[in-house]
Structures are given as structure tokens and as C-alpha cells.
Structure 1
Amino acid sequence: MTNRNALTVLGRSNSSNVQKVMWLLDEIEQPCVRVDMGGQFGGNKEADYLAKNPNGVVPTLIHGDVVVWESNTILRYLANHFRANGLYPTDSVGRSWVDRWLDWQLSSLAPASRNLFMRIIRTPADQRRPDAIEEARAQNAELFGLLDRFLERSEYLGGASFSIADIAVGPLAYRWFTLPVERPHYNNVQRWYDALCKREAFRKHVIEIGLS
């Protein structure tokens, strides 16, 4: 019989999308089993996995009989199910602030971050193209500049308190601050990132994993 409360995350620990799910689960103190999947572990293109997640990417959340895919949808699902209202407001205005940054992370920051990451970390040194790296670096710098201007008037992305919006963007901020590229000094992004670095769950599921 299926344990209706059991939580399983399918996905490798060095995926930024898996990291944010694991980070949230730690923040809300919900134990789970994580199964290595995707990347060097494979398995995400096999029929059994595709029956759960037709996109064949990670992560996939299994919660009893419920299967959820798309990382930011998983964040919303977990916050709603476990009533983590402090991390995902129930009022329409507060929720809209969190939702817009979740969407921005997926539509704008994630593609730019992935380009920079892939062109450095996943490309052999002798095959790296400085012009392509610079193009991606400049795009990320522009996006973090946008973030910096917003954070000039807000403590966190969703407002005065930490939320799943910060969890969604945090792993990509780690990459930005860790990749060997030149970065403009954005005071507000730095202050926000320093606050994330003080959170044990962020250190455990993002910083300690490193770049690979």
C-alpha cells in the first residue's frame, strides 16, 4: 500500500532545479528520499520516468499517489500542501509578488544562467569560446542589475520576508557569484545573497554541492 505521506524527489543533487526543491523541503522540515536521476546518472529518458514526467527532465516529486513536475510548480505545491504561508502568501497581492519572480526566474534568468554555466563548467577548457562566455556573462550581469534595482526597495524578492521566490532564484545567484567571471558589484544583490548564505538549508543543498 502506498504511503500517502511519503515524499520522493527524483533528480541529481547538482541540478539547480533539484536544489531548490530540496532546499524548500529542508526549510519546512519535511523529510524525503532523493533518488539520483538525470545527468551522469541517466534514467530520465526511460519509459518509467517519462510516464511520470513527459519532459524527461528533473526534478519529479512523488508524494504518495501524487506526481508533480516542473520545479517551480513543485515549490508551489509543497508550500500549499504543507501550508507554508510564510513562504508563499495566501493573499492575492503578496502571492503575485512571489509568482512574478518565480516566472522571471524561469523565463529570463534560468536560460541566461544555463548558457553561462554550460559554456564554462560543462565545456572542456580547450573548447571554450571567450566571445560566447562574454555574451552570457553580460546577459547575466544585466539581469542581476535588474534584480539589484528591485532589491533597493525590498528586503527579499517577495517583500519583507523570505519566500519561495528567493528559493527559486538562490541557486542561480550562487552560480553567478561562484563562476570565474567578472561581476559588477551590486550592493543590494550582495546583501540579499549574504542573507541567503546564512540559511543552513541553502548551504547544505546548494553551496556544499558546488559546481559540477
Structure 2
Amino acid sequence: MLKIWGRASSVNVQKVLWAADELGLTYRRIDAGGKFGGLDTPAYRALNPNGLVPSIEDADGTVVWESNAILRYLAARYGSGRLWPEDPVRRAEADRWMDWALTVIGEPMRILFWGFVRDPVHADGNAMAQAEDRLGEYWARFDAWLAGRGAFVAGDALSMGDIPVGCQMQRWSAFPIARPRLPALEAWHRRLQERPGYRKWVMVEME
């Protein structure tokens, strides 16, 4: 059976849990990180030398860490033609937005998360205001990509590319900030909210 290490409140763990549900996989989640600890034990460091979550161990003993690498592995192994687009052009589109969720919106999203949720006492108001403005611009770029292209990131079917961006979108929609009107983005988010795995793992209160 597939094992998934990580607390369910982690956005990176949520990616993996949602993907596993989309693929209909049987798995066991093991609480780790945050209040559960366990990341500095020799056993966990042997699994993931970085001491971060998520990590997975597949039924055949394959170990993968780094959330986007896990998504690509699960999609390629269990979701070819579904989460893993067979067309290399579509797959590149999915790949691109997966990486965008880390390299472009990841840092300003982190600033707002820490300021509103994790450590509001020490929040840097200027940094948060800048992050809010930057995110409005960045999400507008994604909205422009979605407009007229299909229901999801890489066409008419959900792919691995929707998952990291969709997890960040849920958090952005919950922050008490001003957001620009982005119709294509909002319609895409509504489509995600119809998916059971998204509702179960991603549409939860932030901790």
C-alpha cells in the first residue's frame, strides 16, 4: 500500500492527498511534521534527508519526496492520459504551471500565510501589502491563460498542473485581502470545488 507522510494541514501534503484521491489510490497517511514532529528521527531522515513533508513510499518500496516530484511520479505511474497528459505539449503546459506555483506565487503566498495564519503577531505589514499587490498581478496572468482555453490548466481535463495552483488558489481566496475580479480564474476555482478530493483535503481551515 502507498504510504504518505505529512500532516493534512500542509499545503504540500494536500497536493499529494488530492492527487491520490483523483487517481483512486489506496493509501495510508502517517502524521508527521508540525505538532506531530518526527521529521528529525533517523528513520525519517533515511526516508527524506531534508526532513520535510511530504514523503511517500509506494507499495514496491519506491520512495519519493518533494511535493511536485511526487505529483509527477503518481501521475505518470497511475494516471497516464488523466493527470499525466500524454501529449507532450499539454504535459509541458501542466509542468509549467506546477513550477509557477512554486517559483512565482510561492513566496508572496508564504508571506501572507505567515502574516495572517502562522505568526500574525510578528507580521510585516509592508511586506504583506507588497505581497498582496504582487499576487493580484500574478493571478491575473493565470486568469489570462485560462480564458478561452478550456476548463483546466492543460485543456478540458484536470491534470497534475491544476493541483499545486489549485491548492494555492484556495488559500488565496481565504485571505482577508482585496482581490481583483478574475472571471476565468473564479470559474476554474468553482470547477475544482466540485471535485471530492479537493473538498476533502484542500477546502479546509488553515492552521
Q: Same fold (TM over 0.5)?
A: yes
Match runs of 1:121-136 below 5 Å: 121-124=117-120, 126-136=121-131
Where does residue 186 of structure 2 map in the other structure?
A: 190
Task: Tell me if structure 2 keeps the 8 A contact 1:120–1:133.
Answer: no
Where does residue 166 of structure 1 map in the other structure?
A: 162
SS across alignment from 1:98:
helix
Structure 1 residue 145 corresponds to structure 2 residue 140: yes
Match runs of 1:1-212 below 5 Å: 6-64=1-59, 65-124=61-120, 126-155=121-150, 156-207=152-203, 209-212=204-207
Deviation at 1:133, TM superposition (A): 1.6
Which stretch has the larger CA shift, 30-39 or 129-138? 129-138
Task: Tell me if structure 1 keeps the 8 A contact 2:93–2:153.
Answer: yes
Task: Tell me if structure 2 keeps the 8 A contact 1:28–1:84.
Answer: no
Deviation at 1:112, TM superposition (A): 2.0
Partner Cα separation in structure 1 for residue 68 and residue 123 of structure 2: 31
1:6-58 Cα offsets, whole Å, 9 max, x none, are 10100000111100100011111111111111112111122221111122111
Letter of the 2:91 counterpart:
R
Letter of the 1:153 counterpart:
G
Q: CA RMSD in A?
A: 1.3
Partner Cα separation in structure 2 for residue 99 and residue 109 of structure 1: 15
Partner Cα separation in structure 1 for residue 82 and residue 127 of structure 2: 40
Normalising by the residue count of structure 2, what TM-score does the alignment of the two structures yield? Answer: 0.94
Deviation at 1:137, TM superposition (A): 1.1
Partner Cα separation in structure 1 for residue 184 and residue 96 of structure 2: 19
Normalising by the residue count of structure 1, what TM-score does the alignment of the two structures yield? Answer: 0.92
Task: List 4+ stretches of structure 1 deviating above 3 A.
Answer: none
Partner Cα separation in structure 1 for residue 39 and residue 127 of structure 2: 29
1:93-129 Cα offsets, whole Å, 9 max, x none, are 12111111111112112222112111110113x4333
Kindly, what percent of the aligned residue pairs are identical?
38
- How many residues matched? 205
Runs of 5+ consecutive residues of structure 2 not aligned to the other structure: none
Task: Tell me if structure 1 keeps the 8 A contact 2:23–2:79.
Answer: no
Which stretch has the larger CA shift, 163-172 or 82-91? 82-91
Partner Cα separation in structure 2 for residue 111 and residue 48 of structure 1: 30
